[in-house]
Copies of this chain bind each other. A is one copy, B any other.
Amino acid sequence: MKKIINDPSTVVEESLKGMASAHPDLIEVQLDPAVVVRADAPVPGKVAIISGGGAGHEPLHGGFVGRGMLDAACPGHVFTSPTPDQVQAAVQKTDGGAGALLIVKNYTGDVLNFETAAELAEADGVAVRSVVIDDDVAVTDSLYTAGRRGVGGTLLLEKVVGAAAERGADLDGCEALARKVIGQVRSMGLALAAGTVPHAGEPGFTLADDEIELGIGIHGEPGRRRVKIGTADEMVKSLLDPILDDLPFAAGDRVLLFTNGMGGTPLIELYLAHGIAERLLAERGIVVERRLVGPFVTSLEMQGMSLTLLKLDDELVELWDAPVHTAALRWGV
């Protein structure tokens, strides 16, 4: 394992310290328990939007803390959900009197820990709601699984709900909006090569030289199947088709297309893939009105990508365009 780290057991903590020093105007980082909080928290009268999850997906979630997006993020250890006391601390630090909305990705660990946290926060007298995002179409919901996973759609959810909260939406409004977004966002990813969890010391999985994992999860969990690597055209289509079929998306739909890098795939490839996705969508008569391209919901240095499609309406376009000022996403300010 080759990494720019000092010690696997201090990676998250040291990375958080570095992040704090890189963005002193934007965030405050507390280490025990670990929480990234926007610098001007609590914002009186504003619903606090809080998310979190295992580290290793940077800039998710800490990179999205700031005006117009998250009030706080709770980073767990690498690929390990955060603990309830972290979430409880986040709620305490950001409570502006209007309650808190917890954005949880659908993994057993995350759901259980946030559940416990919500109980603790309620006991502290803060009104708390939780939403669970499960946008990954690779793993179909069935009796036999713990349900779909939360992946790239999380960023879009955090942006849109964050904008609404910033404009003064109340807790009911934020929760309803979140459920709406979750209802109309879908993602799927693929991997060309695995990342390495620092304390594991070796790659999470191994693929043959001509093989990709289709439907990869952001912790390196497998998805649908291993297939031979194809052209970019084929790979993008193999991600897009299941997404389109799932909601389904139809001709005339307005969408946001998010082409996400898994951490180890360079921008030159992401743009190439994005162009293909736009072309395929145009062929289907689906109208791409907004787009985002880059490594935003990553899996350490995994090589690969995911596509996320969010069905838009005027409300969502306006909220997407609203000013945001975070470490990883910034416009209008």
Q: Which positions in A face B, CB cutoff 8 Å?
A: 2-7, 11-12, 14-22, 55-56, 58-59, 63, 78, 192-193, 195, 209, 212, 229, 231-233, 235-236, 259, 263-276, 278-279, 288, 291, 293, 295, 298, 300-301, 303, 305, 330-333
Q: A272-B15, A275-B19 are in contact. Are A229 and B264 (CB under 8 A)?
A: no
**Residues of chain B contacted by A17 (CB below 8 angstroms):** 272, 275
**Chain B residues whose C-beta falls within 8 Å of the C-beta of A22 in the assembled complex:** 259, 271, 274-275, 278, 291, 293
Smallest distance from the beta carbon of A8 to chain B beta carbons, Å? 11
Tell me the dominant secondary structure on chain A's binding face: mixed
A325 to B53, CA, bound (A): 31
Chain B residues whose CB sits within 8 angstroms of the CB of A21 once the complex forms: 274-275, 278-279, 288, 291
Q: Is the CB of B193 within 8 A of A2?
A: yes
Extra inter-chain contacts (19) besides given A15-B271, A21-B275, CB under 8 Å = A2-B229, A3-B192, A4-B235, A4-B265, A4-B305, A5-B231, A6-B232, A15-B272, A18-B272, A18-B293, A19-B271, A22-B275, A22-B291, A59-B267, A264-B303, A265-B301, A267-B298, A268-B300, A331-B333
Q: Beyond A2-B192, A330-B330, is A300–B266 a contact (Cβ under 8 Å)?
A: yes
Asked if A4 contacts B272 (CB within 8 A), the reply is yes
Q: 5 interchain pairs (CB within 8 A)?
A: A4-B192, A18-B272, A56-B268, A266-B295, A295-B295
Looking across the interface, which residue of chain B has its beta carbon closest to that of A210?
Answer: B2
Closest-CB distance, A192 to chain B (whole angstroms): 4
Contact call A18/B278, Cβ cutoff below 8 A: yes
* Residue of B with least CB distance to A271: B18
What B residues does A195 contact at CB under 8 A?
Answer: 266
Give Cα A111 to B267, complex, Å.
25
Shortest beta-carbon contacts, A-B, top 6 = A18-B275, A18-B271, A58-B267, A2-B192, A21-B278, A15-B272
- Bound-state Cα–Cα, A332 to B331, Å: 8
Contacts of A271 in B (CB 8 A): 15-16, 18-19, 22, 58
Contacts of A279 in B (CB 8 A): 21
